[in-house]
Amino acid sequence: MGEGDDPTLEQIQTIRSDLQMKIENWLRDFDPRDVQAILTNDQLVQRYFKHVFEQDLTPDDLSQSLKERGSLYSKNYDIDGKKLLVFDVKKHVKGKEIRDDIRKFFLYQVERIEREENGDLLTLVFDCSGCGLKNMDLDFIQYMIGVFKDYTPWNLNYILVYDMPWVLNAAWKVIKSWLPASAVKKIKFLNKQNIGEYVNSNQRFTAWGGSDPWEYEFISGAKA
């Protein structure tokens, strides 16, 4: 089974403490009733991360080139029934897209999964097949990690790294150093021979040795 759990009371309190410090600086911008709700409502705190998402964002607001490229998408489920959020690294070239556009696209995908899966865990997949150093955007990966670490620390089931070339070993040592110990335990380095331990054949694309012939296309959904 996956290692992700619902947020603990300690995690909720940590986020609440962080919010309280920020509220002290931003108090003039908040209704006192909202302040009280944040300080007393656990469910509201669990949903705090939505403040970093653009909740009025629609697919039409996203970069057309990113929608066409397919470097980031959600499709199929892991062995525990958790939605896969796939970063196809070879299709990403650092500096090719405006930084805010790729961040917005990522946030849209995370929020869309959270909404469509009713707040369930997700599994983040780094598909490194065919990628090289030009595709390894540490700034963007650090941003992704920051979103999960700071806003949804309980939301990851696994971090699957598929078919990573040896040339990226040093980069992944850096990436692991950004993660808390609990998240490092979720990282699984996989190849075509063992990915079946985490993703069933009917949920794996043919490129991963599975039986799903799906080819990327961006499908518009309801607004995030």
Q: Render each residue's pLDDT in the chain as its tens digit; 224 residues.
A: 444 455 667 766 766 676 666 666 655 555 666 656 656 665 555 555 454 554 567 888 899 999 999 999 999 999 999 999 999 999 998 888 899 999 999 999 988 998 899 889 999 999 999 999 899 999 999 999 988 887 776 789 999 999 999 989 999 999 999 988 888 999 999 999 999 999 999 999 999 999 999 999 998 764 44
CA atoms within 13 A on the CB side of 140: 24
Q: Looking at the domain assignment, is residue 146 inside a domain? A: yes
| 165 and 94 in a common domain | yes
Q: Looking at the domain assignment, is residue 52 inside a domain? A: no
**3-state class (DSSP) for residue 21:** helix
70 dihedral zone (left: phi>0; alpha: psi -120 to 50; beta):
left
CA dist 82 and 107 (Å) reads 18
Nearest to 107 by CA among 146, 133, 68: 146
pLDDT at 223: 47
| 141 and 106 in a common domain | yes
The domain of 166 spans 59-208
| 63 and 40 in a common domain | no
The domain that contains 186 carries what CATH number? 3.40.525.10
| 93 and 31 in a common domain | no
Q: Looking at the domain assignment, is residue 166 inside a domain? A: yes
Global confidence as pTM: 0.77
| 122 and 84 in a common domain | yes
| 198 and 90 in a common domain | yes
| 36 and 70 in a common domain | no
CA dist 73 and 113 (Å) reads 10
**Quick one: CA dihedral 20, 26, 31, 34, positive or negative?**
negative
The total domain count for the chain is 2
